[in-house]
Structure 1
């Protein structure tokens, strides 16, 4: 490394200011032990979900440490009282027997405070940049000893002096799905925002979390099936095919499909298939087709099948339904198949959106979300090895509504898609034309090809 590169590396360095623990406030009504359900088991093999929220907050280090940070910690403690299992430990006994979250006296969430010399506005933009530059902004979850035991949640607040701050969130997917994570984050943020003059009252957005596990019925024994599959696949490494962490020249970029562009694509799909697709299906289909084109380049073999995976919320699909505030995972696994030559062809976006739309419609049939559920765990390993594109997040989560009192986030990134073969999706900001925001992490050349197909595809709408 030359002198100039060394100086640049020092400038971008993230300096740790404090490592601390934030305990839940006293008086929690949450259970001491919370068993996982079959919905949770599906996500045991996955890396933790990592998000970073960028906020514009032009203040000095001293003001941040003396003013904003104490409010963050106090409101976090109050929020954790309601979401007590997030401060507990995920315990995985040998042979995948009865995984659970355990809470005990002395539980607390690791909270790191740091200062970055990097450029907040560049990191929180849409342009392609080195994916590794976001790594210092998200904390790790460190495993304990003995029976596999690890914390559920870790947090990091990183100050960019004079510009803003980044809040890094790392959470075990097997404990909390996107809805539960959003419920907690909005509760924490609202509690922080509404606190005045040192007086804080917890504000559970949408109501307190529900820990009632009896609402998750398992008449067909999916829990036993999934635990047996996980034990059988314990040494299986096929999910590593998704993992780009540690690879060189990996870029992260965001792409926006505006409301107007989605409407134009919808008219095109309806004209060719008579289907009226949701904005989600249209945007995902458009991205899937562009990515297939970027990957196949000259090879568009007509007999090769491409796969696309997403999750569907099952709280309302349960019979009877689970409450919207149910704490844990309640997601069904969905897989879409399409011919590679169709996706790489001139009407690839139409073919992809149509295939996704048809799969979503089948979910509305009675029991449709659970059709083939017994294969969910095995399918994840099988399809990971085949390079399936999956989706992280949902515009329904409203992550851009997480406001601690500094305004809505400038940008929200799902850092962990680098390890899970996923595209992230969220609501786009109105100043960007509304619509949907897509995040991708790809090798440099593949990102360049994708960007070209994406731009050209939008021009043709």
Structure 2
């Protein structure tokens, strides 16, 4: 497949950012988020893609006026300079038919549709755009919109809100339908701090931002598989596991098994770190309109003294870790409390890494984020991709998202190649998952 870039430009907001909003402080959670681009690719099988590009650019400019930090640049570790320098925008021609590309999805080629290399630490603060877009037109006329957003200023909910707003503007929606983002509340509640005072900050951050040459695979769990999996994950403590708890338990179990096989050692402790949305858990003054990294990492540790690892055991550990992120806990994170807790966690994690050397894996859940509702005027996407191929990337990552058709879940797993070779052939995984099936039209 050939992808030829035919234009590159910078798209600036349609109206300037007001002077009182020119400097946006990071929240503490923005500061500790990975300084890397996380990707989304929306596939629309239209037959007149080139005609729609002008509409995309104009509406992008208007959307940037609402989501003004995406047009800025990081000033330092404490804030974003909302200077309206703009977002990177490129257009490309793809020598391939989109529907053939999706039957099944060519996971190894997805990164060619992205404007930046995803999930790799970005070290150049001065030149790093906060948002990059690549509009890919397939030879059939279909459009794939590749979006890369700098994680230090946004989480998955923020990206979803931006894309929905951009799409609403593109299809001519009125102001009543438009989202009103709030970028200032989270930094007020969880102010930035000098992370240099975290004596073990480098080891703390590297624990869940390890980079290696790795590969990404897509596994699909249809509604029937999810129902069966939830039944199998029931236990004494968790009698009604959620979709997430059941699927996280299965993936985690298979990852532990793969790690044991590769290392040839008895099972060692496994650390699961999963992003938990704190908007609804904390409540006011946060709301669904609160933007940025309004998430905290919950930690689940499994120390298998008994090597007979069961789904109910792991589902229980996952549930308990999420339950700890409650309203009282969130209120304790405000002001200086958040920094003290993060510092204490950094010390604890560093000691654990040095003494027990656990295998760590990061989980992100994008289910119910509404990506399949993003309609630029030609219907919702037929499919939403993430990234793929063999690349330098953060390793040991798992991302869940809804299927565009039906009530199933896609699991995107990124591991080092030798571990992936074991993981993707695990019989427990294959009993439930369809490895990279074709995309069904909604």
Category of TM-score, reference length = shorter chain: 0.7 to 0.9
Structure-2 residue corresponding to 1:407: 379
User: How far apart are residue 41 of structure 1 and its match?
Assistant: 0.9
Distance 2:262 2:385 in 1: 32
Q: Does 1:243 align with 2:220?
A: no
User: How far apart are residue 410 of structure 1 and its match?
Assistant: 2.6
Q: Does 1:268 align with 2:236?
A: no
Structure-1 residue corresponding to 2:256: 292
Q: 1:439 aligns with which of 403, 412, 415?
A: 412
Distance 1:227 1:303 in 2: 35
Instruction: Decide whether aligned partners of structure 1 residues 126 and 280 sit closer, same or farther in structure 2, where only a CA change above 3 A counts.
Output: farther
Aligned positions of 1:203-242 closer than 5 A:
205=178, 207-213=179-185, 216-218=188-190, 223-224=192-193, 226-229=195-198, 233=201, 238=206, 242=210
User: How far apart are residue 76 of structure 1 and its match?
Assistant: 0.7
Q: 1:137 aligns with which of 101, 104, 113?
A: 113
**3-state DSSP class of the match of 1:391?**
strand
Distance 2:15 2:414 in 1: 41
Instruction: Decide whether aligned partners of structure 1 residues 406 and 440 sit closer, same or farther in structure 2, where only a CA change above 3 A counts.
Output: farther
Structure-2 residue corresponding to 1:354: 316
Q: Deviations over 1:28-69 (max 9, x none)?
A: 5581111111121111x432212222222234xxxx33x200
Instruction: Decide whether aligned partners of structure 1 residues 319 and 279 sit closer, same or farther in structure 2, where only a CA change above 3 A counts.
Output: closer
Q: Does 1:451 align with 2:429?
A: no
Distance 2:348 2:140 in 1: 48
Structure-2 residue corresponding to 1:306: 270
Q: Does 1:189 align with 2:167?
A: yes
Q: Does 1:32 align with 2:8?
A: no
Verify the 8 A CA contact 1:310 1:333 in the aligned structure 2: yes
Structure-2 residue corresponding to 1:9: none
Structure-2 residue corresponding to 1:258: 222
Verify the 8 A CA contact 2:208 2:360 in the aligned structure 1: no
Instruction: Decide whether aligned partners of structure 1 residues 84 and 285 sit closer, same or farther in structure 2, where only a CA change above 3 A counts.
Output: same
User: How far apart are residue 300 of structure 1 and its match?
Assistant: 7.6
Structure-2 residue corresponding to 1:21: 10
Verify the 8 A CA contact 2:372 2:380 in the aligned structure 1: yes
Aligned positions of 1:357-436 closer than 5 A:
357-364=319-326, 366-367=328-329, 370=333, 372-375=341-344, 386-415=358-387, 418-431=393-406, 434-436=407-409
Unaligned runs of 5+ in 1: 1-11, 196-200
Aligned positions of 1:58-207 closer than 5 A:
58-59=47-48, 64-65=49-50, 67-92=51-76, 96=77, 99-104=78-83, 107-118=85-96, 120-121=98-99, 123-124=101-102, 129-130=107-108, 133-140=109-116, 148=126, 150-162=128-140, 164-194=142-172, 205=178, 207=179
Distance 1:359 1:253 in 2: 26
Distance 2:122 2:317 in 1: 41
User: How far apart are residue 445 of structure 1 and its match?
Assistant: 4.9
Distance 1:13 1:25 in 2: 33
Instruction: Decide whether aligned partners of structure 1 residues 357 and 235 sit closer, same or farther in structure 2, where only a CA change above 3 A counts.
Output: closer
**3-state DSSP class of the match of 2:240?**
coil
Q: Deviations over 1:382-419 (max 9, x none)?
A: 76985411123421322222221232223223328942
Instruction: Decide whether aligned partners of structure 1 residues 303 and 36 sit closer, same or farther in structure 2, where only a CA change above 3 A counts.
Output: same
Distance 1:376 1:388 in 2: 15
User: How far apart are residue 455 of structure 1 and its match?
Assistant: 4.4
TM-score (norm 1): 0.78
Q: Report the aligned-residue RMSD.
A: 3.5
Structure-2 residue corresponding to 1:3: none
Verify the 8 A CA contact 1:302 1:340 in the aligned structure 2: no
Verify the 8 A CA contact 2:72 2:83 in the aligned structure 1: yes
**3-state DSSP class of the match of 1:430?**
coil
**3-state DSSP class of the match of 1:308?**
strand
Instruction: Decide whether aligned partners of structure 1 residues 69 and 37 sit closer, same or farther in structure 2, where only a CA change above 3 A counts.
Output: same
User: How far apart are residue 224 of structure 1 and its match?
Assistant: 3.0
Instruction: Decide whether aligned partners of structure 1 residues 386 and 137 sit closer, same or farther in structure 2, where only a CA change above 3 A counts.
Output: farther
Distance 1:292 1:451 in 2: 13
